[in-house]
Structure 1
Amino acid sequence: MDLPPEELQFLSIPDILRESTSIPKQSPKTFYLLTLTLIFPLSFAILAHSLFTHPLLTQIESPTGSHSSQWTKLLIFQFFYLIFLFAFSLLSTAAVVFTVASLYTSKPVSFSSTIAAIPRVFRRLFITYLWVSLIMIIYYIVFVGFLVLLVIAVDTHNPILLFFSVVVISILFLVVHVYITALWHLASVVSVLEPVFGFAAMKKSYELLKGRTRMVVVLVFGYLAICGVINGVFGAVVVHGEGYGIFVRIMVGGFLVGVMVIVNLVGLMVQSVFYYVCKSYHHQGIDKSALYDHLGGYLGEYVPLKSNIQMENLDV
């Protein structure tokens, strides 16, 4: 990031996107290898998941055949898919956040140093993810409870009122879901760059988002919407588009996987840059030398964090 620290708080969404997309140019080889080994498998798995589940679901819906065996295959596949998705999501987050922070502190960056730091970063992110999962589970239970109460309370003979009530509840659910997702992404960055993780990282993320809630909701909603469109087109053309021909489906599938890789990479860099934007907005100090030492701790070079220094006194 080439902007003075005091100007970070004034960045708009286009500015954040521009700053984020310029980061890989500072260490292209490192980001190329991270993309190839971590982000590409993650993106491919997200899209290719339906290619494997669709045939199983088709056989389950068929009136003939052994449904129990197909259900077993589906559940086993889903189990390993979720583990793969969870692992590579955390690995990608750890790698990109660590690399961006290293560039920010002018710490030497390489693919090997990033990979070496991941094991310790992964533990912190894993604990934070468990807290986020707990919050999500509680939230889903509350949402389902509201829907049940709504169906009971609203006169079912008035379908229009019931429909609009469900729409309002669903919109509220989506907004809160996007906000919790934003908390999770920012808490992931906090878990890597500060000596807190788990619930403490979630609390710190909540404090940092104050005053920047609208911006982060737009960013997260935009990311989720783009991913939704990509998944929708992939499903319509590649998974269910038998009429398009195998060549067209392969070409479209390859193109969409490439787009998903770019979206995920930019998304990870945006959440890293947004962390610095929030810190600047709240006039919180980032001691670059302390952050440098903190990052070195993941490589076995730990030096205790020093006291914070206002960002305005530092040069980026």
Structure 2
Amino acid sequence: MDKEQEEMQFVGCFGIFAESYKAIFAWRKIFSKITLSLILPLSFIYLVHMEVSNLFFRAIIYDEIELHRTRSGTPRYEKLSDLISDEWVYFWLFKAAYFTLYFIFSLISTAAVVYTVACIYTDRELTFENVINIVPKVWKRLMVTFLCIFIAMFLYHVLAVLFILAISISGGRDLGFVLFIIFAAVYVVGILYLTVIWHLASVVSVLEEAYGFNAMVKGKNLIKGNIMVAVVIFLILGIAAGVVQFAFQRLVLQGSNSDMCGRVVYAIICLFLHSMLSLFGLVIQTVIYFVCKSYHHENIDKSALSDHLEAYLGEYVPLMAKDVQLEQFDV
């Protein structure tokens, strides 16, 4: 990132993409190591989870069809019933293992990339060993923030379900349809807004002393004035990730027209693209943080931020807000 703090406030969507690309390209060696050691396994876990879940569902659906064709009370019926129960248990155990691994690698990858971009911004000496060493010092803070975001998302979806139930029993088919369309639009906007706050809160948890709901509040305040820019960026990234996921499903999971070699090649391509998108997204969310800080005229003292990052390499001591939240500059 070759722009000064004062100039960052004028960076738009294209500029954020450009600054993120420049950072990755200029420091491609260390970002390659982070990708291979952390982000690639994260993408691999995600795509393998899709394949294994697909296999589980196929087996369960096939056995349930066979169960419906079998007369109840027979030994075969009891055997199929027990088999289906076992398959559902294995499926949920697999889901639990997947979410645990995915959650862990998400925390580690976020901490590593945010720290790396911050070190680039402050011109700190940066090695892959330092990046790996800070992860155990910050993952707990990120975990609390992720759990708070999960709670917020859960409550948001509960309210959405309750609203849908209210629409369904309100009567009036035409009115209910109109309300549903309005609700769907509001729901999508709300999800995008929470997603933006989630990404900024993750960066705040690493670069400032706030975490959890406090980091969410800071993220919400920072995004003011740049909400449309952030929404557009994360919407583009989400669409790109959706395209990769769709390609993986069609070419690999449902690739009946391709031989095994072709499906493996497609899987490798999708894995590479998903990993690159994940890295790009993590760098972008950190760049957006610096853009928002500049937009609100919060001049980030590079030496103070550098000291904050240095603390991760020793015994972590949270800095006071005045040390990291720093002075405002005049424009």
TM range (shorter): over 0.9
Which of structures 1 and 2 has the bigger CA Rg? 2
Task: Output the CA distance in 2 between the equivalents of 1:78 and 1:312.
Answer: 52
Greater mean deviation of Cα atoms: 59-68 or 48-57: 59-68
SS at match of 2:257: helix
TM alignment of 1:23-172, pairs within 5 A:
23-62=23-62, 63-64=65-66, 65=80, 66-155=83-172, 158=173, 162-172=176-186
The question of 1:241 aligning with 2:258 is answered no
The question of 1:8 aligning with 2:8 is answered yes
Unpaired segments ≥5 residues, structure 1: none
Q: Identity over the aligned pairs, expressed in percent?
A: 37
SS at match of 2:214: helix
SS at match of 1:244: coil
Q: Which of these residues, 201, 208, 224, is aligned with residue 187 of structure 1?
A: 201
In the superposition, the TM-score normalised over structure 2's length comes to 0.89
Question: What amino acid maps onto 1:237 in structure 2?
Answer: L
Shift of 1:148: 0.4
Residue pair 2:198, 2:216 contacting (<8 A) in 1 also: yes
Shift of 1:162: 4.1
Shift of 1:103: 1.2
Residue pair 1:6, 1:312 contacting (<8 A) in 2 also: no
Q: Which residue of 2 aligns with 1:269?
A: 283
Question: What amino acid maps onto 1:108 in structure 2?
Answer: E
Q: Which of these residues, 208, 212, 227, is aligned with residue 226 of structure 2?
A: 212
SS at match of 1:300: coil
Deviations 1:1-49 (A, max 9, x none): 1112211111111111010011123332211110001110111222221
Shift of 1:154: 3.5
Shift of 1:167: 3.1
Question: What amino acid maps onto 2:249 in structure 1?
Answer: G
RMSD, aligned CA: 1.8
Number of paired residues? Answer: 310
Deviations 1:35-67 (A, max 9, x none): 001110111222221211111111111223410
Greater mean deviation of Cα atoms: 140-149 or 102-111: 102-111
Q: Which residue of 2 aligns with 1:21?
A: 21
1:59–1:302 distance in 2 versus 1, CA, 3 Å:
closer
Task: Output the CA distance in 2 between the equivalents of 1:151 and 1:236.
Answer: 35
Residue pair 1:5, 1:311 contacting (<8 A) in 2 also: no
Task: Output the CA distance in 2 between the equivalents of 1:302 and 1:85.
Answer: 26
Question: What amino acid maps onto 1:142 in structure 2?
Answer: L
Unpaired segments ≥5 residues, structure 2: 67-79
The question of 1:284 aligning with 2:301 is answered no
Residue pair 2:20, 2:283 contacting (<8 A) in 1 also: yes
Question: What amino acid maps onto 1:5 in structure 2?
Answer: Q
Shift of 1:161: 5.1
Shift of 1:290: 0.9
